[in-house]
Amino acid sequence: MMRWCLLVSVACGHAGDARVVAPTELDTGQRARDAEIAARAARFVDAFSNQAAVLAPDGQVAFVSTRDGVAQLYVGRVAEPDRPPRKLPLPAERVVAPHLLPDGRTLVFLSDVAGDQKFRVFRVGLDGSGVAALTPADELRRSTLQVARRAGTLVYTAHVLADQSTRVIVQAVDGAPREIYRDPSVGGIRDVTADGTRALYLRVRSDTEQTLFAIDLARGTLVRLFPPEGQVCAVGDASFTADGASVITGCEVRGRPPRLVKLDSATGAEQAHLDETAAPNASLEAIAVSPSGDLAIVALDAGDHSELRALDPRDLRALAAPRVPLGSIEVGPYDAGGKRLALTVRLPDAPHEIAALDVATGAIELLRREPRPGLGTPPRASIEKLTAFDGRTLPVNVYLPDGAVGRLPTLVLVHGGPSGSAKIAWSPAIGFWTAMGFAVLAPNIRGSTGFGIDYEEADDREHRIDAVRDVETVNRWARAQPWCDGDRLVIGGISYGGYMTLLALTRQPTLWRAGIDGSGMSNLVTMEQLEDQTIRAFDDTEFGVLGKDDALLVEWSPITQVDRIVAPVFVYQGVRDPVTPQHEADQIVAALRRRGVPVEYMLLANEGHGVTRRENIIAFFARSYRFLAEHMDLQRP
Q: What is the DSSP string of 458-485?
A: TTSGGGHHHHHHHHHHHHHHHHTSTTEE
Region 425-440 average pLDDT: 96
pLDDT at 161: 81
Do 286 and 424 have their domain in common? Answer: no
pLDDT at 8: 28
Structural element, H or E, at residue 293: none
Q: What is the pTM of this model?
A: 0.91
Determine how β-strand 484-494 pairs with β-strand 514-518.
parallel
Position 460 pLDDT exceeds 90:
no
Q: What is the CA radius of gyration of the chain?
A: 24
> What's the DSSP call for residue 252?
B
Do 299 and 389 have their domain in common? Answer: no
565, part of any domain? yes
Which among 297, 321, 345 is the end of a domain?
A: 321
Q: How far does Cα 251 stand from its chain's mean position?
A: 21
Enclosing domain of residue 166: 154-321
355, part of any domain? no
Angle 519-118-134 (CA atoms, 0-180°, nearest 5)?
155
Angle 577-582-587 (CA atoms, 0-180°, nearest 5)?
155
DSSP reduced 3-state for 624: helix
> What's the DSSP call for residue 51?
E
- Write the CATH number for 35: 3.40.50.1820
Rounded-to-integer distance, Cα 442 and Cα 411, Å: 9
In this structure, how many other beta carbons lie within 10 angstroms of the beta carbon of residue 37? 22
Region 320-336 average pLDDT: 94
pLDDT band at 530 (very low <50, low <70, confident <90, very high): low
Position 2 pLDDT exceeds 60:
no
Do 300 and 395 have their domain in common? Answer: no
Of 113-117, 399-403, 415-419, the poorest mean pLDDT is in 415-419
Contact assessment for residue 330 and residue 316, using Cβ atoms and an 8 Å cutoff: no
pLDDT tens-digit profile of 330-359?
999 999 999 999 999 999 999 999 999 999
435, part of any domain? yes
Rounded-to-integer distance, Cα 102 and Cα 559, Å: 52
Do 410 and 539 have their domain in common? Answer: yes
Rounded-to-integer distance, Cα 439 and Cα 174, Å: 53
What average pLDDT is seen over the chain?
Answer: 92
Contact assessment for residue 564 and residue 591, using Cβ atoms and an 8 Å cutoff: no
Rounded-to-integer distance, Cα 502 and Cα 505, Å: 5
pLDDT band at 17 (very low <50, low <70, confident <90, very high): very low
Residue 319 or residue 534, greater confidence? 319
- Write the CATH number for 262: 2.120.10.30
Rounded-to-integer distance, Cα 121 and Cα 99, Å: 11
Which among 278, 305, 321 is the end of a domain?
A: 321
Rounded-to-integer distance, Cα 470 and Cα 448, Å: 12
For the chain, the domain total comes to 2
Rounded-to-integer distance, Cα 413 and Cα 417, Å: 13
Do 309 and 185 have their domain in common? Answer: yes
In this structure, how many other beta carbons lie within 10 angstroms of the beta carbon of residue 271? 17
Do 384 and 308 have their domain in common? Answer: no
Do 173 and 271 have their domain in common? Answer: yes
pLDDT tens-digit profile of 213-252?
999 999 999 999 999 999 999 998 999 999 999 999 999 9
Do 467 and 565 have their domain in common? Answer: yes
pLDDT at 16: 36
How far is the CA of 612 from the CAs of 45, 80, 95, 491, 617, in angstroms? Answer: 10, 29, 11, 21, 7
C-alpha atoms less than 13 angstroms from C-alpha of 239 in its C-beta half-sphere: 23
Do 497 and 591 have their domain in common? Answer: yes
11, part of any domain? no
pLDDT at 6: 24
pLDDT tens-digit profile of 57-106?
999 999 999 999 999 999 999 999 999 999 999 999 999 999 999 999 99
Which among 276, 297, 321 is the end of a domain?
A: 321
Q: Nearest to residue 382, comparing CAs of 339, 419, 425, 428?
A: 425
Please give the share of the chain, as a percent, with pLDDT higher than 90. 83
608, part of any domain? yes
Burial of residue 165, with CB atoms counted within 10 A of its CB: 0-12 exposed, 13-18 middle, 19 or more buried:
middle
Q: Nearest to residue 282, comparing CAs of 453, 445, 450?
A: 450
pLDDT at 206: 84
113, part of any domain? no
Most confident of 217-226, 364-373, 412-421: 217-226
Do 267 and 412 have their domain in common? Answer: no
Q: Nearest to residue 508, comparing CAs of 555, 478, 476?
A: 476
Q: Nearest to residue 627, comparing CAs of 521, 522, 513?
A: 513
Contact assessment for residue 529 and residue 545, using Cβ atoms and an 8 Å cutoff: no
- Give the N- to C-terminal CA distance of the chain in Å, as an integer: 50
Please give the share of the chain, as a percent, with pLDDT higher than 70. 96
pLDDT at 328: 94
Position 56 pLDDT exceeds 70:
yes
pLDDT at 10: 29
Do 295 and 388 have their domain in common? Answer: no
24, part of any domain? no
Do 308 and 438 have their domain in common? Answer: no
414, part of any domain? yes
pLDDT at 255: 83
pLDDT tens-digit profile of 533-573?
777 767 777 888 888 888 999 999 999 999 999 999 999 99
